[in-house]
């Protein structure tokens, strides 16, 4: 009696486990040509539950997807010939609703005394979701590969065009770095919105918010731009802002830049850049890449037009964009970017001096670490490291350290343990990272943040500011 009870309880537990795992079971008697299908398997496959008479492979081949039948036959023949178990995946067209589902079939093969197969006992599982996720991953990787190549091609073109119109290496590095940051700002906003679009006021905030606090303003209705238009406008605003800092309204304390935009009845928009209160303006003597960018590239990318006027009272630029430049409001709208004051340390003070300071570098990208090491050394610092892994960084904390430059992520691992120890010991640090967190520093630490791509002089200046404040 107890054996029967135990057996019944065990069967019940097995059924509950199969149900919880989403599995259906079957038994195929090859000698009797009978197939026993459980209710759970029937609900998954759409095959009728109960026992039926069927030849080997007949039921599966009838309902298997045409593209999978040949492979299924080959696998079945090989498994029945010499295998003790089977585990395969294929698609079926479910007879009850004609849905195409991926089926996993696994189990064991029972053989007679002569070694001939006589019984298959196994389970089936609907693995359509797993295959859908895998297909989605492949699509995302293909899209990522496409976008990365596009970005690299754009960076290459930007570097070549900048190089053709600069007369010194220092000038090239400064100009190219600024344009690269403008691209990074737009891409950061687009990534936050899952590449559905970017708000024009966020682009303005990213490019103007920290250049000259109190001397820039922007206003207009809520508008979202396509990725192509957002990148184009971001670069254009950067060019105008750079010229304003060097020669225009932002070169003096009394100057002001205002950006306004309005939606057009045709579906596009019009934006006006207006400088006032600065020195008298005249047209540039030569045509640089920035002028070419505004005159030939931006308008086309916006499916519209750009007109730049060098009025004596200040530069005025008018952008007219077609409806193709405007995107629907994305499902995810990121917060407005925080002004990056750490990226705009006044250059009038001259190069930052870190003479005598011992600065720890924690960065997993070797080329960036080398660039940081060179830049900080040129500023007079004694570099500790660089550390490329979390364990390396933690081991270096035993040495005397005055300040640190930390990447937020080290080969997939958070730099938080290093930051916590530095904070406990009262050692200031700055984050130099590619993570675009609108809420401030990674991990909530009270520390300056410099976003990649950056100029090493910005990092040196930020570290100098930290040390000066101790």
Q: Is the per-residue pLDDT at 252 higher than 50?
A: yes
pLDDT in tens, 227-237: 888 888 888 88
Contact 229, 235 (CB under 8 A): no
Predicted confidence at residue 334, as pLDDT, reads 61
Phi then psi dihedrals of residue 309, to 5 deg: -115, 130
Contact 289, 164 (CB under 8 A): yes
Predicted confidence at residue 342, as pLDDT, reads 38
Q: Is the pTM of this model over 0.75?
A: no
Q: What are the boundaries of each domain within the chain?
A: 21-126, 135-339, 347-468
Q: Is the per-residue pLDDT at 34 higher than 60?
A: yes
pLDDT in tens, 177-229: 766 666 666 666 666 656 677 888 888 888 887 677 678 899 999 998 988 88
- Determine the CATH number of domain 21-126: 3.30.450.20
Q: How confident is the model at residue 349 (pLDDT cuts 50, 70, 90)?
A: very low
What does the block give as tokens for 150?
């596009």
Closest residue by Cα to residue 273 from 234, 296, 241, 305: 241
User: What is the number of other CB atoms lying within 10 angstroms of the CB of residue 403?
Assistant: 23
| Chain centroid, CA 171 distance in Å | 31
Assess whether the previous peptide bond of 386 is cis (omega < 30° from 0).
Answer: yes
Q: Is the per-residue pLDDT at 7 higher than 70?
A: no
Closest residue by Cα to residue 368 from 392, 395, 348, 388: 388
Q: Is the per-residue pLDDT at 306 higher than 60?
A: yes
Ranking 87-91, 240-244, 432-436 by mean pLDDT, the lowest is 432-436
| 381 DSSP 8-state letter | P
Predicted confidence at residue 179, as pLDDT, reads 63
| Chain centroid, CA 157 distance in Å | 22
CATH class of 135-339: alpha beta
> Three-state DSSP class for 206?
helix
Contact 452, 432 (CB under 8 A): yes
**Buried b / exposed e across 14-49, counting CB within 10 Å, b at 16+?**
eeeebeeeebbbbbbbbeeeebebbebbbebbbbee
Ranking 18-22, 63-67, 198-202, 238-242 by mean pLDDT, the lowest is 18-22
Closest residue by Cα to residue 461 from 168, 469, 338: 469
The DSSP line for 208-222 is HTTTSTTSEEEE---
Q: How confident is the model at residue 345 (pLDDT cuts 50, 70, 90)?
A: very low
Predicted confidence at residue 245, as pLDDT, reads 83
The total number of residues written for the chain in this structure: 470
Q: How far is CA 208 from CA 217, 236, 245, 401, in A?
A: 8, 12, 11, 35
Q: Rounded CA gap, 210 and 239, in Å?
A: 15
Tokens 């300040």 appear where?
A: 403
Report which of residues 201 and 347 the model is more confident about. 201
Q: Rounded CA gap, 320 and 324, in Å?
A: 12
- Determine the CATH number of domain 347-468: 3.40.50.2300
The DSSP line for 280-333 is -----SS--HHHHIIIIIIHHHTTSEEEEEEETTEEEEEEEE-GGGB-PPPSS-
pLDDT in tens, 410-462: 877 889 999 999 999 999 999 887 665 444 567 678 888 887 767 788 888 88
Closest residue by Cα to residue 430 from 411, 413, 414, 446: 446
- pLDDT (mean) for 148-175: 64
Torsion region of 19: left, alpha or beta (phi above 0 gives left; psi -120 to 50 gives alpha): alpha
Q: Rounded CA gap, 223 and 217, in Å?
A: 17
Alpha helices in 25-127 (DSSP H): 39-45, 58-63, 69-82
Predicted confidence at residue 444, as pLDDT, reads 76
Closest residue by Cα to residue 390 from 373, 370, 375, 406: 406
């Amino acid at each position: 009696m107890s054996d029967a009870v135990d057996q019944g309880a065990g069967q019940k537990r097995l059924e509950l486990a199969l149900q919880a795992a989403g599995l259906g079971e079957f038994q195929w008697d090859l000698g009797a040509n009978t197939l026993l299908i459980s209710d759970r398997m029937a609900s998954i496959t759409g095959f009728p539950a109960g026992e039926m008479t069927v030849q080997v492979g007949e039921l599966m081949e009838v309902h298997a997807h045409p593209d999978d039948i040949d492979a299924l036959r080959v696998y079945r023949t090989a498994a029945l010939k010499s295998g003790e178990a089977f585990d395969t995946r294929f698609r079926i067209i479910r007879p009850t609703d004609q849905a195409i589902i991926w089926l996993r079939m696994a189990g064991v093969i029972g053989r007679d005394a002569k070694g001939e197969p006589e019984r298959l006992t196994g389970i089936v599982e609907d693995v359509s979701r797993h295959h859908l996720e895998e297909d989605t991953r492949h699509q995302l990787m293909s899209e990522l590969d496409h976008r990365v190549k596009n970005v690299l091609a754009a960076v290459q073109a930007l570097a070549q065009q900048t190089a053709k119109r600069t007369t010194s290496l220092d000038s090239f590095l400064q100009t190219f770095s600024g344009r690269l940051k403008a691209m990074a700002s737009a891409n950061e906003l687009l990534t936050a919105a899952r590449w559905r679009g970017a708000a024009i006021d966020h682009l303005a905030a990213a490019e103007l918010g920290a250049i000259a606090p109190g001397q820039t303003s922007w206003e207009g209705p809520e508008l979202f731009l396509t990725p192509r238009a957002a990148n184009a406008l971001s670069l254009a605003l950067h060019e105008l802002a750079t010229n304003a800092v060097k020669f225009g309204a932002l070169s003096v304390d009394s100057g002001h830049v205002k950006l306004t935009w309005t939606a057009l009845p045709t579906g596009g928009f019009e934006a006006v850049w207006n400088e006032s209160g600065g020195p008298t303006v005249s047209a540039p003597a030569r045509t640089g890449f920035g002028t070419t960018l505004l005159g030939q590239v931006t308008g086309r990318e916006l499916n519209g037009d750009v007109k730049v006027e060098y009025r004596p009272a200040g530069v005025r630029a008018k952008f007219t964009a077609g409806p193709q430049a405007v995107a629907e409001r994305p499902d995810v709208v990121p917060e407005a970017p925080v002004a990056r004051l750490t990226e705009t340390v006044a250059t009038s003070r001259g190069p930052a001096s870190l003479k005598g300071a011992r600065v720890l570098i924690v960065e997993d990208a070797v080329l960036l670490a080398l660039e940081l090491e060179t830049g900080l050394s040129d500023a007079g610092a004694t570099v500790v490291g660089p550390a490329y892994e979390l364990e390396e960084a933690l081991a270096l904390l035993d040495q005397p350290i005055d300040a640190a430059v930390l990447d937020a992520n080290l080969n997939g691992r958070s730099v938080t343990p290093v930051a916590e120890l530095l904070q406990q010991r009262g050692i200031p640090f700055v984050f130099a990272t590619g993570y675009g967190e609108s809420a401030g520093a990674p991990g909530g630490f009270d520390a300056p943040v410099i976003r990649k791509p950056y100029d090493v002089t910005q990092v040196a200046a930020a570290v100098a500011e930290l040390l000066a404040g101790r």
